[in-house]
Amino acid sequence: MNIGIVGIGGYVPEKRMTNHDFETFLDTSDEWITKMTGIKERRFAAEDQETSDLAYEAAERAIKDAGIRKDKIDMILVATSTGDHRFPSVACQLQERLGLRNIPAMDQLAACTGFIYSMVTAQQFIQTGACKYVLVIGAEKLSKIADMTDRNTAILFGDGAAAVVLGEVSPGHGIINYQLGSDGTGGQYLYDRKDDHLLAMNGREVFKFAVRIMGDMAAKTVEEAGLKPEEIDMLIPHQANIRIMESSRQRLGVDKDKMSVTVDRYGNTSAASIPLSLLHELDKGRVKAGSKIVLVGFGGGLTYGAITLVYGK
């Protein structure tokens, strides 16, 4: 069975938070932020918007794009680190809002690698015949856990959501190979603080880890998919930092114009960053039916993963 993306949709809040906005309350500058991260702006959700609201908008659009009735969805998986509550899960909240009943729904916490983990999980359920269609969503409201007094981390993160519907696709399309992993010894470098639950990060250590693992995972999934780097049409890395992204591109050995870059407009949206970038490239016509693409990411945990797939139904 060939399993791939049959529908996709995304949503970002209206409010733009530019680098110049941060200059008004942090000791930073547009020039420094752009040079160090590649970020120019990011979206912030309104106070009355929660992660589930962002996820709902993306989900509705993905289901519509798939061209199926909502009641055809057999499972909901939401990748997020910023759920509205500790419980119920965002996935269960979505099940109610979408009007679905008696299907499994759960959140997966693998931080910025969450979307890749959820894609692979969905693939397994479809492969066994337990599900026909699985709704997979990456959604984050990181603005609510960002420490706005920390100039090293506050400027990195944004809010948004993107969703895909996974199902059986025609021969020659779908997921070819995946790689998943974690290194719990690095959990101390990226975590939420116990006292205020705001995000804390050892940027130097995370950078060192990401530079190595993103390139390694991208190269490994392409090799095990039986492809050569020059056959890849688009590399879609987690949009964390342009320097990390460039390192993974160089390690894989693909041309610069074959790497998706949306970090400049959305910042780091964690679990939402990869599907938002995929949607961006589809809208631009740089990914289309038959395109060979690589998704690769890393995140708190520390987690990491990559997928090679051929896009199309």
Confidence check: pLDDT of 288 > 90: yes
pLDDT, mean of residues 81-91: 96
Q: Say yes or no to pLDDT of 278 above 90.
A: yes
| pLDDT interval class at 299 (50, 70, 90) | very high
pLDDT over 90 at 11, yes or no: yes
pLDDT band, very low/low/confident/very high, at 1 (cuts 50, 70, 90)? confident
Residue 50 is part of a domain; what is its CATH number? 3.40.47.10
Domain of 302, in residue numbers: 174-310
- Give the span between the Cα atoms of 306 and 27, in whole angstroms: 36
Number of domains in the chain: 2
> Do residue 189 and residue 252 come from a single domain?
yes
| Cross-strand partners of 194 | none
Look at residue 90 and give its three-state secondary structure: helix
Q: Is the pLDDT of residue 25 over 90?
A: yes
The three-class DSSP label of residue 33 is helix
Query: Of 168, 185, 201, which residue is a domain's last?
Result: 168
The residues annotated as belonging to the active site are 112, 238, 268
Give yes or no: residues 39 and 127 share one domain: yes
Q: What is the pTM of this model?
A: 0.96
Per-residue pLDDT reduced to its tens digit, 214-256: 999 999 999 999 999 999 999 999 999 999 999 999 999 999 9
At which of 168, 189, 220 does a domain end?
168
Q: Please write the tens of the pLDDT for every residue from 95-154.
A: 999 999 899 999 999 999 999 999 999 999 999 999 999 999 999 999 999 999 999 999
49-69 CB burial, b ≥16 within 10 A, e <16: bbbbbbbbbbbbbbbebbebe
Per-residue pLDDT tens over the stretch 253-271: 999 999 999 999 999 999 9
pLDDT of residue 75: 98
Tell me what the mean pLDDT of segment 183-201 comes to: 93
End-of-domain residue from the set 110, 136, 168: 168
What does the mean pLDDT of the chain come to?
96
Burial environment of residue 106 by CB neighbours within 10 A (0 to 12, 13 to 18, 19 or more): middle
Looking at per-residue confidence, does 1 or 213 come out higher? Answer: 213
